[in-house]
């Protein structure tokens, strides 16, 4: 049994690590030279997905930094948190550096007999039972997956890592400023990642970004601000997940605003679902064919769309609050968020996604 994965990003490498455990031969087509990612990029992974990763994919505990509290502010209430999510006994989520996760996934794959890396972009569709398409840089399949629901935020996400005086650093901060949300995500007791999503189609210069980072700095005695990276922000939802034996995956299926740190988490939930569907077929002695793609879309598409819409609603609520003169939205969010039942629901929503 042989599967083809197009792309060598984090989602592709994670999925490949899942498939080789089922003794499935995987060809990974590299659409660009493998690199160890921009070192300013980080990921937030929810507790349920961390448990899934460690138990069923690969042990990544050594490269994680646990977060047990999240505090949310707005520009109008910068000294008092609007919302607080706390779990003193365990982490709510963990932060991981992109390049470290990629390096670990690659190391595990390169020593496995079921994996082959290929640079040739010419793919014989009939050679593979399934083709997982997870890199839009590959030109030949774009035409099959052009229909999507898309939203342009007219924003750029700016990322960097600051070095600061050593503190107990297990609290993440998010401030919904007048120009967009800025998040401070701990990486260690002396390093913290910053992700600032600015509502502007004009790129900011890095000196200006340093000024903004200092302005909204919640607690850190900053020693150094590293170089900034940026990328344009859009959200999207693909209308059709598959075409024949080709299944779109990862960011091609869905892109989400980074304010909730849910992009990779959504893909991990997709990987878990796809893995379970494959196991079911293998246990029943069934072939892996196009019906797998059909069932995957049926079980995941509506959940993914609802989740995307929920994150977008949060963004728009805070965006509205920053524009109006009255604090009606602010007070409403504070009242709802302090309700224990609602607070628990929001934590479960962020941790596990939509379940029904």
Q: Cα 63 vs. chain centroid, distance in angstroms?
A: 17
Q: Which domain holds residue 31?
A: 2-352
Please name which of 57, 38, 37, 41 lies closest in space to residue 49, comparing C-alpha atoms: 57
Looking up tokens 């029943």 gives: 284
State the Cα–Cα distance between residues 154 and 355, nearest whole angstrom: 31
Whether residue 259 is predicted with pLDDT greater than 80 in this model: the reply is no
Cβ count near 182 (within 10 Å): 25
Beta strands in 87-147 (DSSP E): 93-97, 115-118, 130-133
Please name which of 162, 161, 169 lies closest in space to residue 69, comparing C-alpha atoms: 169
What total number of domains does the chain contain? 1
Using a 10 angstrom Cβ sphere, with 0-12 exposed, 13-18 middle and 19 or more buried, the burial of residue 59 is exposed
Q: Which residues pair with 230 in a beta bridge?
A: 158
Tokens at 193, concatenated? 């990642």
Sheet-wide strand order for 93-97: 42-46, 93-97, 65-67
Among 111-115, 145-149, 240-244, 340-344, the minimum mean pLDDT is found in 340-344
pTM: 0.89
Contacts of 185 (CB under 8 A, 6+ apart): 42, 44, 67, 95, 172, 192, 193, 194, 195, 261
Looking up tokens 């990003």 gives: 9
Task: Please give the torsion angle defined by the CA atoms of residues 78, 80, 84 and 89, in that order, rounded to the nearest 10 degrees.
Answer: 110
User: Residue range 21-42: average pLDDT?
Assistant: 78
Cβ count near 13 (within 10 Å): 24
User: Residue range 346-355: average pLDDT?
Assistant: 54
State the Cα–Cα distance between residues 74 and 9, nearest whole angstrom: 34
Looking up tokens 């596990």 gives: 352
Identify the CATH number of the domain in which residue 320 sits.
Answer: 3.50.50.60
Question: Band of the pLDDT at 339, cuts 50, 70, 90?
Answer: low
Q: Cα 21 vs. chain centroid, distance in angstroms?
A: 23
Phi, psi at 195, each rounded to 5° = -125, 115
Specify the DSSP class assigned to residue 203.
P
State the Cα–Cα distance between residues 137 and 129, nearest whole angstrom: 22
How much is the pLDDT for 356? 42
State the Cα–Cα distance between residues 182 and 220, nearest whole angstrom: 14
pLDDT tens figures, 204-236:
677 889 999 999 999 999 999 999 988 888 889
Cβ count near 253 (within 10 Å): 25
Among 24-33, 67-76, 137-146, 328-337, the minimum mean pLDDT is found in 328-337
User: Residue range 167-184: average pLDDT?
Assistant: 91
Mean pLDDT for all residues in the chain: 84
Which parts of the chain fold into alpha helices (H)?
A: 10-19, 47-52, 98-110, 206-215, 263-283, 290-323, 328-337, 340-352
Whether residue 337 is predicted with pLDDT greater than 70 in this model: the reply is no
pLDDT tens figures, 240-258:
999 988 999 999 999 888 8
């Amino acid at each position: 049994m042989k599967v083809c994965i197009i792309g060598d990003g984090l989602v592709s490498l994670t999925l490949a690590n899942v498939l080789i455990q089922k003794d499935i031969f995987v060809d990974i087509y590299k659409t660009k030279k493998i690199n160890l990612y921009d070192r300013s990029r980080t990921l937030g992974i929810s507790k349920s997905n961390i448990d899934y990763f460690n138990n069923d994919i690969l042990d990544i505990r050594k490269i994680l930094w646990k977060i047990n509290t999240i505090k949310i502010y707005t520009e109008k209430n910068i000294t008092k948190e609007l919302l607080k999510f706390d779990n003193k006994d365990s982490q709510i989520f963990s932060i991981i550096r992109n390049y470290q996760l990629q390096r670990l996934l690659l190391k595990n794959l390169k020593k496995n007999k079921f994996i082959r890396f290929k640079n040739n972009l010419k793919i014989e569709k009939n050679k593979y039972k399934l083709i997982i398409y997870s890199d839009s840089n590959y030109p030949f399949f774009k035409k099959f997956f052009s229909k999507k629901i898309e939203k342009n935020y007219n924003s750029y996400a700016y990322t960097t890592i600051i070095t600061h005086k050593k503190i107990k650093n297990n609290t993440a901060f998010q401030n919904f400023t007048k120009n967009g949300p800025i998040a401070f995500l701990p990486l260690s007791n002396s390093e913290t990642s910053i992700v600032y999503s600015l509502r502007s189609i004009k790129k900011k210069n890095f000196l200006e970004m340093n000024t903004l980072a200092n302005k909204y700095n919640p607690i850190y005695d900053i020693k150094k601000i590293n170089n900034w990276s940026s990328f344009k922000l859009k959200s999207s939802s693909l209308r059709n997940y598959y075409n024949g034996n080709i299944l779109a995956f990862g960011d091609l299926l869905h892109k989400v605003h980074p304010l909730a740190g849910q992009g990779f988490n959504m893909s991990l939930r997709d990987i878990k679902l796809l893995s379970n569907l494959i196991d079911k077929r293998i246990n029943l002695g069934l072939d892996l064919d196009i019906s797998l793609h059909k069932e995957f879309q049926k079980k995941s598409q509506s959940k993914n769309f609802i989740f995307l819409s929920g994150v977008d609603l949060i963004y728009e609520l805070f965006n509205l609050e920053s524009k109006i003169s009255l604090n009606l939205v602010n007070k409403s969010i504070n009242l709802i968020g302090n309700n224990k039942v609602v607070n628990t629901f929001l934590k479960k929503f962020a941790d596990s996604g939509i379940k029904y």
